Amino acid sequence: MKPVRGPESDVRPLEYEVRGPKSDAKDRRPRTPDLGLRTFLLLIMAGGLLGLYPLQKMIDREFGPGQSQHEELMLLPSESRVSRLAGGYSGLMAAIYWTRAVQYYGRHRLAHAKDFALLGTLLDTATDLDPHLLIAYRFGSLFLAGRPPEGAGDPQRAIYLLQRGIVANPDYWRMWEDLGFIYYWDVKDYARAARAFQTGSERPGAMPWMRVLAASVAAEGGEVQTSRVLWSEISRSAENEAMRHSAQMHLAALDAQEALRKLNDLIALYQRKEGRAPRSFHDLVAAGYLRGVPLDASGEAFVIGPDGRAELGPKTRIDLGMGE
């Protein structure tokens, strides 16, 4: 995140001499410069955090007493009001609105809500205040694109947010990566996905595999193997645990889909050879078709449903929809 600057101050840089260890045991004077510098930095950080409170109260006063708890009043409807309230602290204000966006998303997701109507506006406000707030573009686009209740189910709004972020941060290749993934999985527009990966691969510092993704999507867009390549790459290179976990869950869903296909083929083979439908996978184990009852990636056993086809067990943690 871009460093936040308040009004100019008259504080001058600390001047001190860095000394190596001395062998003279008599010189035991405490080295205070490092401690003073750390104290100085902590005071700056504390001042910035304390500054959030009056800014928050200022926002609430703008909308009238007793109304600050309503989500509809968390928004600043015009750029002039945003600028007037932010003053010289647009970075801090952006942090407030990014925090509110995360809280809004979290509450709605925990409540399994399907309407995230205010999410896009909160993210727009945060990124208007700080166009270089990279985390808001990247995670905000995930919040917007995910299908309810995992997200707002609005990939077009996610694309719009990322496009704004790319304009403000044209050399940050990761946003082209995010844009390509949304085009690929959520919009199923493989041509645009390939172009996004290709364009991102040309940005400074881009990983070499971006070109591989561009070529794979262009050649085999929509294929299961291509999806596996994409999710495997995210799992390998994710910058945080949340993204890595999401990639692993998508890979588990792809594995489960493939396992179900093979298990249904075995069920059909059993019926042809044995002349009856199996009641459970224990029948296939007993007849030698399987070595043991098959388990999914979460450790839960596959079952045979009422329609005679293989399906995930009732306690599985795998969502097959993540493999689509």
Domain end point (choices 110, 143, 169): 169
- Domain annotation covers residue 89: yes
Q: How far apart are CA 272 and CA 278, in angstroms?
A: 11
Task: Answer yes or no: do 156 and 267 share one domain.
Answer: no
Q: Are 33 and 16 in contact (CB under 8 A)?
A: yes
Q: Pick from 233, 205, 201, 236: which is nearest to 215 by CA?
A: 201
Q: For residues 258 and 246, which has the higher predicted lDDT (pLDDT)?
A: 258
Does the structure show a pLDDT above 60 at 258? yes
Mean pLDDT, all residues of the chain: 78
- Domain containing 302: what range? 250-323
The pLDDT of residue 86 is above 70: no
Q: Under a CB-based contact definition with an 8 Å cutoff, are residues 284 and 276 in contact? A: no
Residues 162 and 265 in one domain: no
Is 83 within the bounds of a domain? yes
57/8 Cα distance (integer angstroms): 24
SS (H, E, C) the chain: CCCCCCCCCCCCCCCCCCCCCCCCCCCCCCCHHHHHHHHHHHHHHHHHHHHHHHHHHHHHHHCCCCCCCCHHHHCCCCHHHHHHHHCCCHHHHHHHHHHHHHHHHHHHHHCCCCCCCCHHHHHHHHHHHCCCCHHHHHHHHHHHHCCCCCCCCCHHHHHHHHHHHHHHCCCCHHHHHHHHHHHHHHHCCHHHHHHHHHHHHCCCCCCCHHHHHHHHHHHHCCCHHHHHHHHHHHHHHCCCHHHHHHHHHHHHHHHHHHHHHHHHHHHHHHHHHHCCCCCCHHHHHHCCCCCCCCECCCCCECEECCCCCEECCCCCCCCHHHHC
Average pLDDT over residues 89-99: 89
Percent of all residues in the chain with a pLDDT value above 70, rounded to a whole number: 71
Question: Of the residues 169, 196, 223, which one is the last residue of a structural domain?
Answer: 169
Is 20 domain-assigned? Answer: no
Residue 44 lies inside a defined structural domain of this protein:
no
Q: 265 burial class (0-12, 13-18, 19+ CB within 10 angstroms)? A: exposed
Higher local confidence (pLDDT), 175 or 148: 175
Instruction: Check whether residue 53 and residue 165 sit in a common domain.
Output: yes
Residue 88 confidence (pLDDT) = 74
Which residue type is seen at 200? Answer: G
Quick: pLDDT tens for 192-235: 999 999 999 999 999 888 887 887 787 677 677 777 877 787 78
In this model, does residue 289 exceed pLDDT 90?
yes
Q: What is the pTM of this model?
A: 0.56
Rounded to whole angstroms, the maximal C-alpha distance in the chain is 95
The reply to whether 271 falls in a domain is: yes
The answer as to whether 54 is a domain residue is yes
62's CB contacts (< 8 A; 6+ apart) are 76, 81, 85
Tell me phi and psi for residue 239, to 5 degrees. Answer: -85, -10
Say how many domains are in the chain.
Answer: 2
Q: Is residue 304 domain-resident?
A: yes
272 close to 313: Cβ distance less than 8 angstroms: no
Question: Please, which pLDDT band fits residue 82 given cuts at 50, 70 and 90?
Answer: low
| Mean pLDDT in residue range 293-310 | 94
Chain-centre distance for alpha carbon 106: 13
Question: In this structure, is residue 314 part of a structural domain?
Answer: yes
CA-to-CA distance for 204 and 17, rounded, in angstroms?
38
Q: Are 179 and 142 in contact (CB under 8 A)?
A: no
| Boundary (domain end) residue, out of 169, 199, 233 | 169
* CA–CA dist 138, 173 (Å, integer): 11
Q: How far apart are CA 239 and CA 162, in angstroms?
A: 18
